[in-house]
Amino acid sequence: MPAGSVLAKDSFIVGEHGAIAVGPLFLMSKGAAGSNAVRRDWTYTMIMPDGSVREDAGIQKFCNDCHRRAGAEDDNLMFLPLPYRVTTSN
């Protein structure tokens, strides 16, 4: 992804008795090339349902430890498994 790219993923929480609530908004922002080798230049952010923003070192490590496993070719991006993707070609 080019520097400046921002990816967003929303989420929801299913609570007791099936009650559904808004979950965190997950963001990945691509920085300048070479700005952070460990994270392949990504910064990870969580915007909580109350509006607070979490972007501390612990969050960076937590998110990156998993996303990094997607590898360099996929640039840390996981994507939805194929059967769940919406496409315009079928």
Binding site for ligand HEC (CB under 6 A): 7, 9, 26-28, 44-46, 59, 62-63, 66-67, 77-80
Taking the complex as a whole, the smallest distance from the CB of residue 44 to ligand HEC amounts, in Å, to 4
- 47-86 burial, b for 16+ CB within 10 Å, e for fewer? beeeeeeeeeeeebeebbeebeeeeeeeebeeeeeeeeee
- Measured from the CB atom, the residue of 16 and 65 that comes closer to ligand HEC is 65
Taking the complex as a whole, the smallest distance from the CB of residue 3 to ligand HEC amounts, in Å, to 16
Taking the complex as a whole, the smallest distance from the CB of residue 71 to ligand HEC amounts, in Å, to 12
- Measured from the CB atom, the residue of 17 and 21 that comes closer to ligand HEC is 21
Taking the complex as a whole, the smallest distance from the CB of residue 76 to ligand HEC amounts, in Å, to 7
